[in-house]
Structure 1
Amino acid sequence: EHDEETIRHADYVVDLGPGAGKLGGQLVAEGTPEDIMHAPASLTGRYLSGEQGIMHRMTPRALTGKWVTVEGARSHNLRDITARFPLGVMTVVTGVSGSGKSTLVNDILYRALAKELYGSREEPGEYTKIRGFENIDKAIRIDQSPIGRTPRSNPATYTGVFTAIRDLFAMLPESRERGYKAGRFSFNVTGGRCEACQGDGQRRIEMNFLPDVYVQCEVCNGRRYNQETLAVKFNGYSIADVLDLSIEDALPLLADIPTVRQKLETLVEVGLGYIHLGQAATTLSGGEAQRMKLARELSKRQTGRTLYLLDEPTTGLHFDDVRKLLEVLHRLTDLGNTVIIIEHNLDVIRNADWIIDLGPEGGEDGGRIVAEGTPEQIAGVDGSHTGEFLKRFYESAQGRASISPVEPFALTPNGSSGKRRRNAKKDWVQ
């Protein structure tokens, strides 16, 4: 479990770590929640004790005055509502389970944008009209689904760095002498790969009525390539050795290739430096896959006109993973993009520039917009469950220290935003 309240109410906690991947696998602390808080090596304990925390902005970003508006949303339990999403900022859609969040964002907003922008044939939920989509180039939904469904997919292939790595090996003198081209170093093509496993490094055993089992290939011992291909080395590393490196360890080796360096640096920045370049995509957790997708987006050339949608991205994430995720989302937003998140996590909610709160309850008693505005404004709305929890936070010592000295944000009658300065780095508090 990662939920703070559940951990605090546990009778006994077993904390593993201290990091992830090769940096983890150790018993860091065990005992009552109080014992965990006093364990110096426990990252979980530092978050529980308040020694370490998730940063958030003291003031929301200034609204640009541009909006995407869904009018007459009435699918499932939505009550013919009009929802306005500000562009260029981070919006969090909140509400109890069953209040209509996924219907509004996934079934209507995303599908309607996909239909308008790409001619998608997937029919959106019932709505009357969508306005403002001309201010968007792309609408991208980023979830925790795998980046690939077979062991053949890995971070190197997904991010595109594997092409540059294969080109590098093809340029080596030994490759030229033997007539090896870049295709020789692909495990998808006959020639350089191990034919026993066809470049998977694993053999699939069908189990009849049970999920297939994968075992290491006994011919190449999981190396994916034949001996002739493995004989070609760059700075003492074969192509298989490079794929076995963690992203962090591969960075200095491949630093002279600008496109590779940039992508690997981004992966390290989002906290994925411990993952191996050739690690099977099927072994990545949902949170890792999600950050991999976000890192790939950050590596792309930005137009500042992309809308990203995320549905409960903190599911299965530790406090520290949530911190890293928020840093990435803030970076995407600072580039001028729009980020819309469905979320229950209070750390994410209080990082929002704008909140749309649905409810007040779930099912038949939901489907209405209870409140919309900045986190501080939502905290003052009676009848909003989200507002109640935000109010408790702002009334705490930590929350009082974070309240902005700037006048509360308000919309002018025509819907444009009042002027407010953009935040400098000093506008962040823990």
Structure 2
Amino acid sequence: MHQLTQLLARLRDAGNTVLVVEHHPQVIAVADHVIDVGPGAGARGGLIQFVGTPADLRRSGTVTGRLLDRPLEVSSSARPWQGTVPVRDARAHNLTGVDVDIPLGGGLTAVTGVAGSGKSSLATQDLPAQHPAFAVVGQDPLRGGVRSTSLSVLGIADTVRRAFSEVSGLAPAWFSFNSKGACPVCRGKGHITTELAFLDDVSTPCDECHGRRFNETALSATIRGSTIADVLAMEAREVAHLFEHSPEIAEAMSWLERVGLGYTAVGQSLDTLSGGEKQRLLLARHLRGVEDLAG
């Protein structure tokens, strides 16, 4: 990080205007001017909380300022182990018959080393190969775009559709914007894309469904006053409350909250999520699968 901040300072000193989107304390500390956005994420963000110097930010009382002024303290006492998992004769890629014991019981074990030393080989290949109960959550991209949502990634989109089907008498396909329920104009995308030969494409909200993605038949059904489009615009907490009698939906929504995605709309297209948000959604899917297997 020190090398990065030195490079940024050199760029500035050469007469450049350098704008950095970053929340690392060391980067904030060397800034000449700070713009703090918040107060939360998603719909709870979007407001300018503070503008000024790093020193003034610490006294500002914003979430960022408070954390910079009073950093989180790391406990000096480690949690006691509750057993270990042995990895024996690990030989993936450049590993040469490595033996190691991985602590269990709620602790956090870090596998460190220089690039190419065999960290990933040990943790993502030999460990799960010898102990299949371990779930590997890597940096593989979460597949899906405008047609995929958090509900579909977590495997409960069909559960929500069946709930609407039961109260309306319509087939579940009517409550999918990829099937019968799709708006006939935008075909369930919620927007119309106009291709402009030598310029970037222009996307505008659909005049027929006004971005809701569904046709009138699908929108005629409601659960406690909410349509399928309303549900897709809700946050996890709201969905869990609406479907409070469905343990499957409540459990999936709890994982969204626990990985820090409670602020996102459950029907938000995957192509609008950031890289970090996609990775957290992938983690929620893995954790939900682990819990299902364990239960």
TM-score band w.r.t. shorter chain = 0.7 to 0.9
Q: Is residue 186 from structure 1 mapped to residue 176 from structure 2 by the alignment? A: yes
| TM-superposed deviation, 1:170 | 0.4
Match of residue 67 from structure 2 = 47
| TM-superposed deviation, 1:223 | 1.0
Match of residue 6 from structure 2 = none
Q: TM-score, normalised by structure 1?
A: 0.56
Q: Is residue 166 from structure 1 mapped to residue 181 from structure 2 by the alignment? A: no
Q: Is residue 300 from structure 1 mapped to residue 276 from structure 2 by the alignment? A: no
SS at structure 1 position matched to 2:23: coil
Q: Aligned equivalents of 1:19 and 1:158: distance in 2?
A: 24
SS at structure 1 position matched to 2:276: helix
Partners of 1:4 and 1:48 within 8 A in 2: yes
Taking structure 1 as reference, are residues 209 and 290 closer, same or farther at Cα in structure 2, changes over 3 Å only? farther
- Which runs of 5 or more residues in structure 2 are unaligned? 1-21
| TM-superposed deviation, 1:46 | 1.3
Match of residue 14 from structure 2 = none
| TM-superposed deviation, 1:138 | 4.6
What aligned pairs does 1:272-351 form with structure 2 within 5 A after superposition?
A: 272-302=261-291
Match of residue 34 from structure 2 = 13
Which residue identity does 2:33 align to in structure 1?
Y
- Which runs of 5 or more residues in structure 1 are unaligned? 114-129, 306-334, 336-430
Could you give the per-residue CA deviations for residues 372-405 of structure 1, whole angstroms, max 9, x where no partner exists?
xxxxxxxxxxxxxxxxxxxxxxxxxxxxxxxxxx
**CA RMSD between the two structures:** 3.0
| TM-superposed deviation, 1:69 | 4.2
| TM-superposed deviation, 1:281 | 0.9
Deviation >6 Å, runs of 4+: none
Match of residue 252 from structure 1 = 241
| TM-superposed deviation, 1:158 | 1.1
Taking structure 1 as reference, are residues 288 and 186 closer, same or farther at Cα in structure 2, changes over 3 Å only? same
| TM-superposed deviation, 1:202 | 2.4
Q: Aligned equivalents of 1:229 and 1:34: distance in 2?
A: 54
Match of residue 220 from structure 1 = 209
Taking structure 1 as reference, are residues 239 and 11 closer, same or farther at Cα in structure 2, changes over 3 Å only? same
| TM-superposed deviation, 1:261 | 0.9
Q: Is residue 150 from structure 1 mapped to residue 145 from structure 2 by the alignment? A: yes
Q: Aligned equivalents of 2:136 and 2:97: distance in 1?
A: 24
Aligned pair partner of 1:92 in 110, 118, 122: 110
Could you give the per-residue CA deviations for residues 163-218 of structure 1, whole angstroms, max 9, x where no partner exists?
1111111011xx22xxx1111111121x2211222212123444567775543222
Q: Relative contact order: is structure 1 or structure 2 higher (C-alpha 8 Å, sep ≥ 6)?
A: 1
Partners of 1:247 and 1:268 within 8 A in 2: yes
Q: Aligned equivalents of 2:162 and 2:73: distance in 1?
A: 41
Which residue identity does 1:141 align to in structure 2?
V
What aligned pairs does 1:408-427 form with structure 2 within 5 A after superposition?
A: none
Which residue identity does 2:139 align to in structure 1?
D
Q: Aligned equivalents of 1:109 and 1:198: distance in 2?
A: 46
| TM-superposed deviation, 1:291 | 1.8
Q: Is residue 37 from structure 1 mapped to residue 58 from structure 2 by the alignment? A: yes
Q: Aligned equivalents of 1:56 and 1:208: distance in 2?
A: 59
Q: Aligned equivalents of 2:237 and 2:220: distance in 1?
A: 24
SS at structure 2 position matched to 1:39: coil
| TM-superposed deviation, 1:151 | 1.2
Q: Aligned equivalents of 1:294 and 1:71: distance in 2?
A: 26
Q: Aligned equivalents of 1:204 and 1:184: distance in 2?
A: 24
| TM-superposed deviation, 1:131 | 8.0
| TM-superposed deviation, 1:304 | 9.0
Q: Aligned equivalents of 2:73 and 2:136: distance in 1?
A: 26
What aligned pairs does 1:73-152 form with structure 2 within 5 A after superposition?
A: 75=94, 82=98, 84=100, 86=102, 88=104, 89-95=107-113, 99-101=114-116, 104-106=118-120, 108-109=121-122, 113=125, 133-143=129-139, 145=141, 147-152=142-147
Matched-pair identity in % = 32
Paired residue total: 272
Q: TM-score, normalised by structure 2?
A: 0.80
